[in-house]
Structure 1
Amino acid sequence: MRIVTCILVLSLVPCFGFGQNKITGKIVDQLGFPIYRASVALNTTDIITYTDYDGSFTLTSDKDFHWKVNISSKGYKPESYFVLSGGSTGAIVLEFDADIKELLDASSGID
């Protein structure tokens, strides 16, 4: 009897993941470097994640068609991005904000 119960429980485990859809991608700056700890949030939800050390992220959603993600990180302009079904964004490039651009321009001058 226990074996039958265990088999039934284990056969239902894969069913729990069918309602989840994954959105994956990578956030980089204009120079191609990964952005660590950029926030990636699904629009109009409380679902949020942060990029890891190589700029990669994964979000899960119950919605299964297309998504709008909002991306932000200090020193960069916020970005909204539409993800179609399939869930892979590829590399998303964030632009430097005005303060960082000014700092980079000032430090690149040769005197």
Structure 2
Amino acid sequence: MRIVTYMLVLSFVPYFGLCQNKISGKIVDELGFPVYRASVEINATDSITYTDYDGSFTLISEKDFHWKINIKSKGYKPESFFVLNGGNTGNIILKYDVDINKLLDGSSGLYQKFYWDSWNNEILFPKSEGLLVSVF
């Protein structure tokens, strides 16, 4: 009798797997580096996940056709992406937001605080009227 019960249970296992579809992919930034802890959610559902250390994610959905996923992370512009049947997105590239672009371009005020050439010229050796001022 146990064998019949086990056979019945094992025969239903494939049916449970068919009702769920998997969406997987990888989130990277403009330089190709993985984005850690980006939120990935299926539009208009409660299904949400976060990327791991190498930017990979996996979502489970009960729908059997294309999905719209929304991706958000601090420092990046939010992105919406359509996934067709099959569920593999490949690499999705997130673009930097305005603040990070300013920092990377050197057009923010942080340039003088963090780069040695400007720090060396303006702080260690300030220009004064005829006197050489030393910090030491």
TM-score (norm 2): 0.77
> Following TM superposition, by how much is the alpha carbon of 1:86 offset from its aligned partner in structure 2, in angstroms?
1.2
Alignment of 1:1-111 (within 5 A): 1-106=1-106, 107=111
Q: Which ranges of 4 or more aligned residues in structure 1 deviate by more than 6 Å?
A: none
Specify the SS of the correspondent of 2:22: strand
The corresponding residue for 2:125 is: none
Which structure has more relative contact order (CA 8 Å, sep 6+)? It is: 1
* 3-state DSSP of counterpart to 1:90: strand
Count how many residue pairs are aligned between Structure 1 and Structure 2. Answer: 111
Q: Where is the strand percentage greater, Structure 1 or Structure 2?
A: 1
User: How many Å apart are 1:13 and its aligned residue?
Assistant: 1.4
Deviations 1:44-77 (A, max 9, x none): 0010001111101111111111000000000000
What residue identity is the alignment partner of 2:22? K
Instruction: Give the SS at the match of 2:100.
Output: helix
Q: Matches of 2:40 and 2:81 in 1, distance apart?
A: 10
- 5+ residue gaps, structure 1: none
1:4 positional shift: 1.1
User: Which amino acid is 1:33 matched to?
Assistant: F
Q: Secondary structure at the match of 2:89?
A: strand
Task: Compute the TM-score of the two structures, normalised by the length of structure 1.
Answer: 0.93
- Cα RMSD of the aligned pairs, angstroms, is 1.6
Cα offsets for 1:50-107 (capped at 9, x unmatched): 1111101111111111000000000000000011111111111000011111111225
Tell me the percent identity: 71
SS of the residue corresponding to residue 65 of structure 1 reads coil
